[in-house]
Structure 1
Amino acid sequence: MVGSIEVKVKESSHCVEVNLSQTKGFEKQVIDQLIKETQSPLPCNHARCRGILLCEADQLSNETLMYVKWAIERNKGCSKIFFCCSDVSKLLLLSSFCTHVHLSPPSKQEIVEVLEYIAKQQEFDLSRRMAERIADNSKNNLRQAIRSLEASWKKSRLFEEDENKLLTGWEDDIADVAKKIVEEQSPKHCVTWQSEMVGSIEVKVKESSHCVEVNLSQTKGFEKQVIDQLIKETQSPLPCNHARCRGILLCEADQLSNETLMYVKWAIERNKGCSKIFFCCSDVSKLLLLSSFCTHVHLSPPSKQEIVEVLEYIAKQQEFDLSRRMAERIADNSKNNLRQAIRSLEASWKKSRLFEEDENKLLTGWEDDIADVAKKIVEEQSPKQLYIVRGKLKKLIEYDVSPNFIFKTLVDELKKFLDEELQRRVESFYADYNKMEEKPFVTEKGYGEEAVIKELHDPMRKNVNHFLKIEEFIAKFMSCYKGEANKKNYLPT
């Protein structure tokens, strides 16, 4: 929960403007408050509500975009929101709600005219040649041109006498960076020059005499501090030697940010020969910053035969019968994922101790989780609930649960709480979103048949698209269900 957030805004009678780079991670709360404050108390009408101008909107995360989309659907006709961005491809989630207006950068002549106007207002001489030179250097960026003019004039009020002294306006910032680097050579200044002190962080680890294992998804943003502490604790007090120090096993290392990877790289260089760190990941391309320090070892998934043998061993240890045919069926459904195969075996056996008699009752082990998601959706329709549900869905996707299975099971569970009319509407929503899957998604940078083929064969991107599709369905269902509840005081059956 956030008590209060102070954000600088520019206001007029027609609109309110905010730069999202200043919201410090509280974009959803700020946007929500702006929507509330700019709406008219009279019936919804675009003429009565002020516009909201969101600068640097391409910095918004997909999670925040989903929230904004939900808010737009909820307040349809009651809000005017303008998303100002440099990269429109990052706002594709909102494309169905927005009209794309491309604003061309100012021409050289327009920039020159602005600079001459500023010089006239400030009462100093600016030659046409100098104005054109500043405009050329700015590369059609009016803000940079004005900054350059201001910096050069402050440095030398008569800068016409020495036109080589044209500044960009960033020299003092870079000089300050250089000063900090010289003052202290530490990761604090190599990676991020500002940091907050952390009192204590509690993280669950698995330890043995040879290594210590930690899952980075549990470090809650304190990866650098955790890794730094692990390096200190696993080193031997004796002179550096690989035989004397325990290994550090970092699971889900592909979730590390580039900033943290730079820190780890610095730490490895500082402790060269004194640390053994294993980065376990699904996508090695996200660890390219460490490629010069690491040896890439690819671990193939277990074969169907190996999974069957493990399942048969478990059945033998638990003293229940498992036919070869059933074990092979579970192995096939797991798609070479041993953890999923064991989970499926456990869930199916718990459901029916004699599941050999009805092999159609084979479960994945995720049914209860999805049923819980459906229950929460029906219990409360709010941005907070959408955020909670999103986290649960993300966890399912991370465990390689089929998005199609999640979607279909979720719809079936939701229908259990609805009357016939709403069941038909949910089925209609589900059919519409399934049709979307047939249309390949191609960004503006990826036109052509080759890009379409690449998209269709990229499992990671397909999973992300499925995930976003399910999220969008849930937001639409919440809006519909809440509307029906308000109309006829509808309660879940």
Structure 2
Amino acid sequence: MLFVDKYRPRTLEQFQLHADVADNLRKLVVSGDCPHTLFYGPAGAGKKTLILALLREIYGAGVEKLKVECKPWKIELPSRKLEVEFATVSSAYHVEMNPSDVGNNDRYVVQEIIKEMAKSRPVGIDGQRGFKVLVLNEVDRLSKEAQHSLRRTMEKYSAACRLVLCCNNVSKVIEPVRSRCLCIRVAAPSLQQIEEQLGRVAASEKLSLPPPLASRLAAGCDRNLRRALLSLEACRVQQYPFTDDQQVAAPDWELYIQEIAGDVLREQTPKQLFVVRGKLYELLVNCIPPEIVLRKLCLALMPKLDDELRHSTAQDAAFYEHRLQEGSKAIFHLEAFLARFMSNYKQYMISLGL
């Protein structure tokens, strides 16, 4: 079992990074008040772990008896019949799903799932919690239509179904949805907290972790605890006993983005843009989020540019990231950003006489 799963807190009492948030959630459950909840914060901060611990606090160990289903849904619309198929993770008390996977049909899927859950209420442990919980991941990736339809559905079925929403960027969730939820911010852990957690995991595994290596693991994970634990396990597989100067291997997709940045800096031609397009497709096919690809590309290019180009590159990256959120084909906007950068870079080099 991976360290990430082996040392994941199972209950709210076991939380150390977000002890104050966990205590408030426990008080909420004890009081019997369980409103719609919105957890937001950066990746690897512990949102999903908090949600699972909250469900266990409400319903007990029964929420860990999970089943994964991938079944087709037939939704009757006024003008047509919609058939979609997607995966859900469910127990007797809750359903977890990612509605953004179905694209523009997300609003119909969310409504249908909530209606289905409202038909059968679970028998609560104490006979009072007669509602199911629907966990929606990546709510910030839902279309605006889906979020607006969610607003009305939250009110209509609140007696039989409570929603737990999870997202990275709360600014992409519309205000009417946020106002109907208890918003809980899950902050990214500090570098010191990550080092302490790595030390605890290493001690539990009877590993000797040198402080310099722990510092590099914490500094290279971008305050993402999940990534830090995965890097620690990768270092153990690579070499053990650990050494002070042991290298921390970067993920393959990050190295690939570094390679793309080197390609566009080396040559600015249509042929090179065609080659880079194929590499961008490969990243997207391997499920690397396009927003992360664009951000990492910009960060990889910045250190190799003069001050005159850094401002325009950051401005272009912000422009195309906004277009990326509004558009439907990520490859168009990623390629447009690189094409704009290559054009600006070539003109700048010509102006210098190089």
Q: Give the partner amino acid of 1:395.
A: P
Q: Hey, what does 1:283 align to over in structure 2?
A: 169
Q: Is the 8 A contact 1:340 1:364 kept in 2?
A: no
Which residue of 211, 216, 219 maps to 1:332?
Answer: 219
Q: Kindly provide the CA deviation profile for residues 147-171 of structure 1, in whole angstroms up to 9, marking residues without a partner as x.
A: xxxxxxxxxxxxxxxxxxxxxxxxx
Q: Check if 1:473 corresponds to 2:338.
A: yes
CA distance in 1, matches of 2:148, 2:137: 18
Match of 2:309 in 1: 436
Per the alignment, residue 265 of structure 1 pairs with 151
| Higher deviation after alignment, 349-358 or 289-298 | 349-358
Alignment match of 1:246 (pick from 132, 136, 139): 132
Give, in whole Å, the separation in 1 of the partners of 2:290 and 2:122.
45
CA distance, structure 2, for counterparts of residue 385 and residue 400 of structure 1: 15
Distance verdict in 2 for CA 1:299–1:371, change over 3 Å: closer
Candidates 202, 205, 219, aligned match of 2:86? 202
CA contact (8 A) 1:250 1:279 kept: yes
What secondary structure does 1:202 align onto? Answer: strand
TM-score between the two structures when normalised by the length of structure 2 = 0.53
Number of paired residues? Answer: 248
CA distance in 1, matches of 2:205, 2:320: 35
Q: State how far apart, in whole Å, the 2-side matches of 1:349 and 1:404 are.
A: 31
Q: In structure 2, the residue corresponding to 1:356 is in which secondary structure?
A: coil
Q: Any conservation in 1 of the 2:139–2:167 contact (CA below 8 Å)?
A: yes
Bigger fraction of residues in strand: 2
Structure 1 residues 311 and 283: CA distance shift in structure 2, 3 A? same
The root-mean-square deviation of aligned C-alpha atoms, in Å, is 4.8
Counterpart residue identity of residue 235, structure 1: A
Residue 473 of structure 1: how far off its partner (Å): 3.4
1:182-231: CA deviation from partner (whole Å, max 9, x where unpaired): xxxxx99xxxx97653324122x333444322234433433223323431
Instruction: Give the letter for the 2:338 counterpart.
Output: F
The answer to which structure, 1 or 2, has the higher relative contact order (CA under 8 A, 6+ apart) is 2
Change beyond 3 A, Cα 1:387–1:332: closer
Q: Given the alignment of the two structures, is residue 388 of structure 1 paired with residue 274 of structure 2, yes or no?
A: no
Query: Deviation of residue 255 (structure 1)?
Result: 1.1
Partner of 2:188: 301
Structure 1 residues 440 and 286: CA distance shift in structure 2, 3 A: same
Instruction: Name the CA distance, whole Å, in 2 between partners of 1:237 and 1:393.
Output: 35
How far 1:379 moved relative to its partner?
Answer: 11
Of 95, 101, 105, 1:212 maps to 95
In the alignment, residue 436 of structure 1 is paired with which amino acid? L
Any gaps of 5 or more consecutive residues in structure 1? Answer: 1-186, 410-429, 444-459, 478-493
Cα offset, 1:277, TM superposition: 0.6
In structure 1, distance between residues paired with 2:101 and 2:159: 28
* CA distance 1:442–1:462, change in 2 (3 Å): closer
Give the C-alpha shift of residue 381 in structure 1: 3.1
User: Aligned equivalents of 1:201 and 1:316: distance in 2?
Assistant: 44
Q: Aligned runs of 1:36-435 on 2, under 5 Å?
A: 197-203=81-87, 205-235=88-118, 237=120, 243-287=129-173, 288-359=175-246, 361-367=247-253, 370=256, 381=274, 385=278, 388-389=281-282, 391=284, 395=289, 397-398=291-292, 402-403=296-297, 406-407=300-301, 431=305, 435=308
Q: CA deviation at 1:276?
A: 0.7
1:253 Cα deviation from its structure 2 partner:
0.5
Residues 56-91 of structure 1, C-alpha deviations (whole Å, 9 max, x = no match): xxxxxxxxxxxxxxxxxxxxxxxxxxxxxxxxxxxx
Counterparts of 1:339 and 1:365, CA distance in 2: 13
CA deviation after TM superposition for structure 1 residue 268, in Å: 1.9
Secondary structure, aligned partner of 2:158: coil
- The residue number in structure 1 matching 2:12 is none
1-side partners of 2:197 and 2:216: how far apart? 14
Looking at structure 2, the residues matched to 301 and 271 of structure 1 have their Cα atoms a distance apart, in angstroms, of 33
- CA change 1:320–1:281 in 2 (3 A) is same
Q: Deviations over 1:346-365 (max 9, x none)?
A: 34444444452523x12333
Per-residue Cα deviation, 1:79-118 (whole angstroms, up to 9, x for no partner):
xxxxxxxxxxxxxxxxxxxxxxxxxxxxxxxxxxxxxxxx
Which TM-score applies when normalising by structure 1? 0.40
Instruction: Tell me the SS of whatever aligns to 1:364.
Output: coil
* Distance change >3 Å, CA 463–CA 244, structure 1 → 2: farther
* TM-superposed deviation, 1:259: 0.7
Cα gap change, 1:471/1:221 in structure 2, threshold over 3 Å: closer, same or farther? same
